Copies of this chain bind each other. A is one copy, B any other.
Amino acid sequence: MPNISQRGVNMPASPIRKLVPLANKAKAKGIKVYHLNIGQPDLPTPQVAMESLKHVNRKVLEYSPSEGILSFRKKLVQYYAKFNIHVNVEDIIITTGGSEAVLFSFMACLDPGDEIIVPEPAYANYMAFAISSGAVIKTIPSHIEDGFALPSMDKFEALITPKTKAILICNPNNPTGYLYTQEEMHQIRDIVKKYDLFLFSDEVYREFCYTDTPNISSFHLKGIENNVVLVDSVSKRYSECGIRIGALITKNVQIRENVMKWCQARLSPPLIGQIIAEASLDTPESYMNEVYNEYIQRRDFLIEGLNRIPGCYSPLPMGAFYTVAKLPVDNADKFCAWCLSEFEYEGQTVMMAPASGFYTTPDIGQDQVRIAYVLNREDLAKALTVLEKALERYNQS
């Protein structure tokens, strides 16, 4: 039997993955598991999106254009304009989820050995796409004590080598929920400009910013227009993660031409997903407002609850629907596994994502977990009670 690839061996498995069998076992024992570990909102997909499925009147479910359906791309131009992101239809390439936009950005911009600087904790799958493309991720730790603010400019500069080709940010951030300030965005712009780097900017949580100041996109930054590649997805904003529709947006024609070669190689993004995503752009404001308010209430409820548990600490995240919290445990990997395999409180337990999966620097964040507030407040309340009881029991044993 021939050997599988070393690249595959090097690929990180999903940080949640080893916990899944434990969760399944708990459920098989009849234990109710509160899933604080996932990025799948519980909120309903908008009605206009669901309705669009009933009106697919085609004889053939044919390939769509490799760059995506033109009418959808045109409508996205208007969508982005609302956020003061001014793009032409040619700037927008539709991808199979935000994931593919990340992969194609790396493939089109980076060669094996090229380096990307990423503040950590960071979305674990960036690492997988870097390994796929042979690029190397260099991380700079951000710290829970500062609420995961952007590391200082000299921390970035200390990592820059002749191999450095890009900075990658996720804003609002997964996993921390951190939202970069105007000052921080200007700092990123200055480094990108000074060293002439690509800026990969994952902005899939754009709709979920909880400050009163307008959200700053990488597309707002002056003087680096040809350096920015925006990664987007409809998954989170319309609670339709399953349709796998994202976008790669850039003013840089060379990048687009390169990316299009990958788009043509995989022929086309999902047709039905695009139909749904296009319809979703007509989602009424009232839906978006409800979702927004729901998340703010959940966030406030969750963070307050967490900070009331002895030894726990979470900053107040200003975006997305996650937080990274510190728990009074030696090792969150062990604790998360223990919650699923050895603990229950009144027939319930919690599943959380150990933060170790979001760091590449060893030994950081070992007492941290990512918690997603994608459950309703009633369930969040129960989950908080379960977590408090679990910590009590864990620290007694």
Interface residues of A (CB under 8 A from B): 1-2, 4-9, 11-14, 17, 40-45, 49-50, 53-54, 56, 58-64, 96-97, 99-100, 103, 107-112, 114, 125, 128-129, 132-134, 165-166, 196-198, 226-227, 239-244, 252, 254-255, 258-259, 261-262, 264-273, 276
- Expressed in whole angstroms, the minimum distance between the Cβ of A359 and any Cβ of chain B is 17
- Flag if B96 contacts A262 (CB, 8 Å): no
Are B107 and A242 in contact, CB atoms less than 8 angstroms apart? no
Compute how far the CA of A41 lies from the CA of B49 in the bound complex, rounded to whole angstroms: 28
> Closest 10 A-B residue pairs measured CB to CB?
A242-B271, A8-B258, A128-B265, A11-B261, A61-B240, A14-B264, A99-B266, A270-B270, A272-B272, A61-B242
- Of B53, B108, B110, B133, the residue contacting A53 (CB under 8 A) is B53
**Chain B residues whose C-beta falls within 8 Å of the C-beta of A265 in the assembled complex:** 11, 14, 99, 125, 128-129, 132
Cross-chain contact of A13 among B11, B99, B261 (Cβ < 8 A): B261
Distance between Cα atoms of A100 and B6 in the complex (Å): 19
Give the oligomeric copy count. 2
Complex contact B271–A243 (CB within 8 A): yes
Report the Cα distance A196→B4, complex, angstroms. Answer: 12
Tell me the bound Cα distance from A303 to B13 in angstroms: 50
Query: B196–A241 contact, CB under 8 A?
Result: no
Q: Is the CB of B12 within 8 A of A261?
A: yes
Residues of B within 8 Å of A241, CB to CB, are: 61-63, 267-268
Residues in chain B near residue A129, CB distance under 8 A: 265
| Closest chain B CB from A21 CB (angstroms) | 14
In the complex, besides A1-B227, A7-B112, A132-B133, 5 extra interface pairs with C-beta distance below 8 angstroms are A5-B110, A5-B111, A8-B258, A11-B262, A12-B261
Given contacts A242-B270, A270-B96, contact A108 B227 (CB under 8 A): no
- Determine if A270 and B244 form an interchain contact, defined as CB atoms under 8 angstroms apart: yes
- On chain B, the residues within 8 Å of A197 by CB distance are 2
**Distance of A265 Cα from B240 Cα, bound (Å):** 18
**Nearest B residue (CB) for A198:** B2
Which B residues lie within 8 Å of A273 (CB)? 270, 272-273
CB pair B196–A1 under 8 Å, yes or no, is yes
